Amino acid sequence: MSEYKKQLPDITSIDKPFWEGAKRHELMAYTCLNCETFYSQATDCVACDNPRMGWVKVSGKGEVYTFGIYHQLYHPAWKEDIPYNVAWIKLDEGPLLMSNIVECKNEDIHVGMPVEVIFDDVTEEVTLPKFKPVK
């Protein structure tokens, strides 16, 4: 497991529940506990003016909202992976999440493609949520 050479998230108190959930193989999203409007970060809900925010487990199902194929090498650890994809996933519950599409050729990825989460345990501490096509 210590062989993993790519960048790892710098986990802080703000996003810790997300990464703890991933380690349990549960996809977590940050939401207003009153009206269920999702955010990436917020101290208050601007939709219903409520300060009760928290993390909830989501289904892990969604679709490709948009994507790009990286040909430029930005970090040496990715040398064997280029060209690799980076996609915005629109989860069924609404929020957007950036990740990679796996178990799919780059040329087969398309906007609107149904996907579901898989969990890649890259180190003992870190699990990365990635997405694969729904067959």
Angle at 83 between CA 78 and CA 87, to 5 degrees: 90
First to last CA, the chain: 29
Least distance from another protein to the Cβ atom of residue 14, Å: 13
Nearer to another protein, 54 or 94 (CB): 94
- Site map (CB under 8 A) of another protein, residues 21-60, x = contact: ---------x------xxxxxx---x--------------
Among 51, 54, 68, 114, binds another protein (CB under 8 A): 68
Among 90, 100, 130, 131, binds another protein (CB under 8 A): 90
CB 62 within 8 A of CB 90: yes
Among 14, 69, 77, 134, binds another protein (CB under 8 A): 69
Pairs from 35-43 (Cβ < 8 Å, separation ≥ 24)? 36/93, 38/93, 38/94, 38/95, 39/95, 40/95, 41/14
Least distance from another protein to the Cβ atom of residue 110, Å: 8
Residues interacting with another protein, by CB under 8 A?
30, 37-42, 46, 65-66, 68-72, 83, 86, 88, 90, 94-96, 111
